[in-house]
Amino acid sequence: MKIINITKVALLAVASLMLLPAQADYPEKPIGVMVAYGPGGATDFQARIATLASGKADLIGQPIYILNKPGAGGRTGWNWFASEASQDGYMLGAYNVPHFIAQSIVFDTKYNINNLEPIGNWGADPAVLIVGKDSPFNTVGELLAHAEANPGAVTISGAGKFVGHHIAFLQFAKASGANLTYIPASGGVDALRMVKAGETVAGFNNLSDSARSASDLKILAVADLTRHDYLPDVPTLMESGVDVDDSSVNFRGLMVPSGTPQDVVDYLASKVPAMFNEKKTQGKMKSTNSPSRVMSRDEVISMWSERQAYLTELLAGLK
Contacts with another protein, residue ranges (CB under 8 A): 32, 38-42, 44-45, 48-49, 65-73, 75-76, 79-80, 103, 106-107, 152-155, 160-162, 181, 183-186, 189-190, 192-194, 196-197, 199-200, 209, 212-213, 215-216, 287-289, 319
Shortest distance, CB of residue 216 to another protein, whole angstroms?
7
Output 1 or 316, the one with its CB closest to another protein. Answer: 316
Find the shortest distance in angstroms from Cβ 205 to another protein.
11
Torsions phi, psi of 164, nearest 5?
A: -55, -40
Complex with another protein: residue 106 or 301, whichever CB lies closer: 106
SS3 154: strand
**CB nearer another protein, residue 190 or residue 245:** 190
- Residue number with CB closer to another protein (22 or 106): 106
Least spacing, CB of residue 297 vs another protein, in Å = 26
Question: Closest approach of Cβ 201 to another protein, in Å?
Answer: 8
Cα-based distances in Å from 34 to 29, 66, 75, 83: 16, 6, 12, 13
Nearer of residues 69 and 307 to another protein, judged by Cβ: 69
Length of the chain, please? Answer: 319
Please report how close the Cβ of residue 40 comes to another protein at its closest, in angstroms.
3
Query: Is the separation of the CB atoms in 318 and 166 below 8 Å?
Result: no
Q: Closer to another protein at the Cβ: 192 or 255?
A: 192
Q: How far is the CB of 299 from another protein (least distance, A)?
A: 27
> Closest CB to another protein among 285 and 300?
285
Sequence-distant (6+) residues with CB within 8 A of 59 are 53, 271, 274, 275, 278
Say how far apart CA 270 and CA 59 lie, in whole Å: 9
CB of 26 to another protein, least distance (A): 18
- How far apart are the C-alpha atoms of 235 and 221, rounded to whole Å? 5
Given a contact cutoff of 8 angstroms between Cβ atoms, the answer to whether 42 and 122 are in contact is: no
Question: Which one, 32 or 235, has the nearer CB to another protein?
Answer: 32
| Cα four-point dihedral sign 73, 78, 79, 80 | positive
User: What residues have CB less than 8 Å from 123, skipping those under 6 apart?
Assistant: 46, 50, 251, 252, 253, 285, 290, 291, 292, 293
State the minimum distance, in angstroms, from the CB of residue 200 to another protein: 6
Q: How far apart are alpha carbons 119 and 49 in whole angstroms? A: 17
Give the per-residue SS3 of 80-102. Answer: HHHHCCCCCCCEEEEEEECHHHH
Q: What is the residue type of 225?
A: L
